[in-house]
Structure 1
Amino acid sequence: MRFLYTFLLFISLQIISAQNHFVPDDIPYKTALETAKTEGKPLFIMLYADWCPHCNQMKKDVFSDTEVMDFLKKNYVCVWKNIEKEEGIALKNKFNTKALPAFLFLDANETLLYALKGEMKKPEFMTEANYALNSKMQLPYLEKEFLADKSNSTKFFAYLNTMRKGQERTELAIPTHIYLETQSDDQLVSETNWRVIANGVTDINSREFQYVLKHQKEFAAVASKNRVDRKIENIVTELLRPYVDNLDTVNYYKKREIAKSIRLQKTDSLVFKFDLTLAERTEKWQFYKKVTLEDTQKLVWNDASFLKDIGQTYLKHITDEESLKKSISWVKHSLELNDSYDGNLLLARLYNKIKDKKLALKYAKDAKVISNEMNWNSKDVDTLLAELNTK
């Protein structure tokens, strides 16, 4: 009897587990389009990848829910495509999908009605899936309304905010440009138009961004200095990061000149940090040394952590003594800003590298004192002290 009870319990748990594990139907996309035309329904498409944790979480928490699936099957023809398989790859490219999970709502003619991206809980997803059925909340209607009255900021934001839910930021530039063309230079300095610029302008050479650069105080009055600074930093980051991520040194150096032309310390500091990141990833240590020798004191002199990072790189990859002495001065300054165990240990190692045993011992002992005071593991400094005391 006990065996039978255990067996039935096991079967019940397996059934519950299976009910809570969503397995997508892999119907062909062409078949789904034909079904949508026949049944007069829009398509719902989820683009996912097996390695995507947010995709898997939504399968588990949202799409294993019978209420969600009943709603979707009633109102849509549902398609689930892995972006690493043939049809998924094609759909990802067709709709310029960069983030996962992605949810596309199409009509039977493949017109994009609505789009979403990212992980959501059930209530948010159900709300959005209902919005996608409302013709006056769909992208074609909102676009038509906006284009009929291009200077109307309310209609522009209705369209832009819906686009932002599922489309890439670069795609927002087109309606933003159309709207801003209706605004004179004087009209740009307003709270409304600042919101447009902050959310939609991505081109560093655009009229609007160049106007922001020349009128920072005026824009700070309608937004804030922090917001204006953040916009300037973000647009430089958006300009340079893709080339650093892709190790595209040729195009990076071209775009770098555009960023440097802004001639602000905050943007110069960003370029400096991107320069070092790219140099490290491509192992261009002579370029790394050139950039740091020219600009460390000018651009990151009050950043103790960054000064130590540069010192660590010199310790590992730079060999000439004069440059190493310069890195020692930077790490010493980091200790003036924030005395630390790792800073003292780094100085000891740098002095050891240039064969100055006396100062290497001094800073190693200082590191040892800090580790004892903080009750930290002192293995690294103990190893260095043992090495120094045997020389």
Structure 2
Amino acid sequence: MLLRKLSLLAFLFTLSLSSFAQGIEFFHGTWEEALVKAETEGKLIFVDAYTTWCGPCKRMSANVFPVAEVGDVFNANFINVKLDMEKAESVSFRKVHPVRAYPTLFWINGKDEAVHTSVGGKQVNTLIAAAKEAISKQDDIEALAAEWEAGDRSSKLAFTYIRALVRRGESHLKVANDYLRDQKDLTTPDNLNIIQVATTNADSRIFDLLMKNKAALVALNGQDEFDATVKRAVNATKARSLEFKDASLLETAVKKLSAVDPAAGKQLKLEGEFELAAKGTDEKDFLKAMKNYLKKGVNGDAVRLQDVYQVAANSKFIGSDKVLDMAIEAAAASAAAEQDGGFEKYYRLAAFLLSQDRTEQALTYARMAKDLMPEGKANYGRAVDSLIQKIQNSK
């Protein structure tokens, strides 16, 4: 089978701009360095205050933080830090921000003041909602809008106002375009920073300005920041192509990215065509796109394999045996790539297969989940035993 021929070690390769299934990127400096970075960049610090024995902490690290949608929000708006509350690395943090339950999620400004706090494990949607609530507390957008309407066109206000609009997910293009249109010199540091913060979509004039001024922006803010801006803008245009089922938007995103990184453009094309086909009505087109992506774009990556399974399982084509077989194989390969043996993924796959009347396969994966389950997982053990019994009773 196709996926069995893929090396499951390939997902360990170093991810670059070419990876679009990337979640939260965590900062690896000290807490004091994170504070300086936050103050300098005008961003909040997102802190995952966790312990190694906390179950919800582990589930978020495994299943929520790696999600691309989460990474898009957090990498653009925050400096992201993970702190083990039982290690020396968190001593100075704990003196100011005591933690009584795990995980506790903090959003902290550069002055070491907590702007927003949320306790307990989160799913993708609830974590993004918490992030947006933190963002809403960061900027006084009404005051900024009033200054702008009063006629202040300074670069400082333009940058702060545009950044606040971007953070909130509100339309900023009119403000940005009005400001940039009146500038005689777009290459000043202030104007370059405004171009960079305003570049949120690849299908825009501002993205073209970003590319035109690439050398100056890299010299000003670094290659990593430039690449991250391109990646976010391209991902946003790809997301709009899926939302509106618009292949031309995907083509634009691929074209703009390919001009920077041809390999990344190829990867985006394969992934985007697969996801777009899942929203269509032609099963043959979907099968073709799915096979193509698995063969040329997944590269054995565990997260991508899981994404293939999720997209297929939630598509209108999952009733097709061919689609279902490929989805099962992708899910199983993703589970096999997990360091803990993937027992949770095998369990969820077994439950899904039961719902699809694939009882024999469901029983196989449920037993694999039981065999691979580490010690100390009594709740999961009971759930797996219950699922096995349910499968056997359904025969």
TM-score between the two structures when normalised by the length of structure 1: 0.47
> Which structure exhibits the higher relative contact order, with contacts defined as CA atoms closer than 8 Å and separated by 6 or more residues?
2
Choose 1 or 2 for highest CA Rg: 1
